[in-house]
Amino acid sequence: MSLTRDLIRLIRAKPRDRLDLDQAALFVLDTLACALGALNTEPARILKAIAPLETADTPRSAFYFGGLSHILEMDDLHRDSVTHPGCVVIPAALAVAARDDLGGVAFLEAVLAGYEACCRVGMAAGKAHYRVWHATSTCGPFGSAMAVADLIGLSEDQAVWALGNAGTQSSGLWQFLESGAMSKHLHTARAAESGVLASLMAAQGFTGPDEILEGKKGFFVGLCPDPLPEAVTAGPERPWELTRTSIKPWPCCRHTHPSIDAALSLHDEIGGAEIAKVTIGAHQAALDVCDRHQPQDPYSAKFSLQHCVAAALTDGAVVQSSFDTSARTRLASARAKVEVGLAAGIDAAYPASWGTELSVETNDGRRFTTARRDAKGDPENPVTALELSAKARAVLADGGIGENRAEALIAAVLALPDDAPVRALDLFPNDKGGPDARYQ
């Protein structure tokens, strides 16, 4: 018996109820809003050029939406696995569900299954994996393959093959951060596409390795210095991992969010006083990815603890324009006052808790301190359905989506738990597998 087979059995035996479906619909709304809200960006233009909207290629449709969903850095995040499951699982499931004209219930159940596979493999990858490998990209193909396997009714053996061949396509290195390159969007695009390909091929009898995770030349040996294989099947009675996933309120790396949350809480209290020094105590993964004193472009600024906290303390808000050239120039002096370091207690609680310790000293001798165990949007501090709909409207507006179309999309997504057809989302006209031109 392989870990992959055990994982598939765990997922397929797991009970689901209406509340689970309602939660899944909210994550679908969040992901689609993030995707469509990115339509006016340069990476979106390039994705469209190589994955044209009119394509009838289902894997390539998943590729397009997978890349699009991650551009704004506002898509969801599962803390324990350090993955963004929505931008990989939902595009894959959506492409197939729309192609096959499936109902909302089957689609949402597949989304639940895909999140479960992605997150459980991610939790098993261990902490050291994330230092070199982008876990969403490496673990995501397991999730997209599992979602599609359920949608197209693969047998257990076929599903094992699908996850085996999804895992052999795992890839995605952090090197792009050194120059602010666009690779991260390719990571999620390929992770979504890889899972679709793996499951569609398995349906035709294309075999894959049973022991892709624990085998002598498998995923753990190749990519994970400190794997936790038992995490793949631990706690089968837990709620669905989707319900343990966080929604992002701010358009930047989730590792910066606890510090943003803390800084925003101090903004009014400081009352415009001149700041002398800011100290952030973070977990090691945040330092590995987000210790950037001088970000040179919008994307690296989104991965800069110093910049994000400077924006929060100075402006009392962190929005898309907080990372553009003028904002980076304006905030340079404030950013230079921010020091980051490891906080032992915060690091010990990671990844179950993504926290921060924040201290601000002003020129008039005052000192302000605060800490966060959980940031806004975490399951312990969740956004409400109303707040999520408000986020969706704002993000969609940024993408040039009109108010009427935005309201129609929100209503259509929230009707999915009542088994409304996936095609009612109007994202795949004429059975072609590309987003509706009306969203352009």
Residues with Cβ < 8 Å from 218, sequence gap 6 or more?
167, 209, 211, 212
- Alpha carbons 84 and 77: distance in angstroms, whole number: 4
Half-sphere exposure of 96 (CA within 13 A, CB side): 28
- Alpha carbons 4 and 274: distance in angstroms, whole number: 56
- Alpha carbons 230 and 213: distance in angstroms, whole number: 11
- Alpha carbons 38 and 401: distance in angstroms, whole number: 10
- The answer to whether the beta carbons of residues 354 and 284 sit under 8 Å apart is no
Looking at residue 54, what is its pLDDT? 60
Looking at residue 17, what is its pLDDT? 97
Side by side, the strands of the sheet bearing 367-372 are 338-342, 275-282, 356-362, 367-372
Residue 440 has pLDDT above 60, yes or no: no
Residue 433 has pLDDT above 50, yes or no: no
Fold of 3-249+383-439: 2-methylcitrate dehydratase PrpD (1.10.4100)
Residue 57 has pLDDT above 70, yes or no: yes
Looking at residue 352, what is its pLDDT? 86
Residue 438 has pLDDT above 80, yes or no: no
**Which structure tokens are listed for 283?**
């977990």
Q: Tell me the C-alpha to C-alpha distance, in Å, between residue 210 and each of 4, 6, 91, 225.
A: 7, 11, 25, 21
Mean pLDDT of the chain: 94
pLDDT (tens digit, 9 = 90+) per residue, 285-314? 999 999 999 999 998 999 999 999 999 999
Q: Which of the four pLDDT bands, split at 50, 70 and 90, describes residue 168? A: very high
- Alpha carbons 112 and 97: distance in angstroms, whole number: 14
Once rounded to an integer, what is the mean pLDDT over residues 18-45? 96
Percent of the chain with pLDDT over 70: 96
Looking at residue 436, what is its pLDDT? 43
Looking at residue 351, what is its pLDDT? 87
Q: Which of the four pLDDT bands, split at 50, 70 and 90, describes residue 375? A: confident
pLDDT (tens digit, 9 = 90+) per residue, 334-361? 999 999 999 999 999 998 899 999 999 9
Percent of the chain with pLDDT over 90: 88
Once rounded to an integer, what is the mean pLDDT over residues 139-155? 98
Q: Where in the chain is the domain with CATH 1.10.4100.10?
A: 3-249+383-439
Residue 428 has pLDDT above 80, yes or no: no
Once rounded to an integer, what is the mean pLDDT over residues 370-388? 91
Looking at residue 53, what is its pLDDT? 60
Residues with Cβ < 8 Å from 51, sequence gap 6 or more?
60, 61, 63, 64, 67, 189
Instruction: Tell whether domain 254-372 is in CATH 1.10.3720.10.
Output: no
Phi, psi (deg, nearest 5) at residue 368: -120, 135
The 3-class secondary structure across 294-339, one letter per residue, is CCCCHHHHCCCHHHHHHHHHHHCCCCHHHHCHHHHHHCHHHHHCEE
Place of tokens 């996850």: 163
- The answer to whether the beta carbons of residues 211 and 217 sit under 8 Å apart is no
- Alpha carbons 62 and 88: distance in angstroms, whole number: 8
Residue 224 has pLDDT above 50, yes or no: yes
- Alpha carbons 144 and 62: distance in angstroms, whole number: 9
- The answer to whether the beta carbons of residues 168 and 207 sit under 8 Å apart is no
Residue 434 has pLDDT above 90, yes or no: no
Q: Where in the chain is the domain with CATH 3.30.1330.120?
A: 254-372
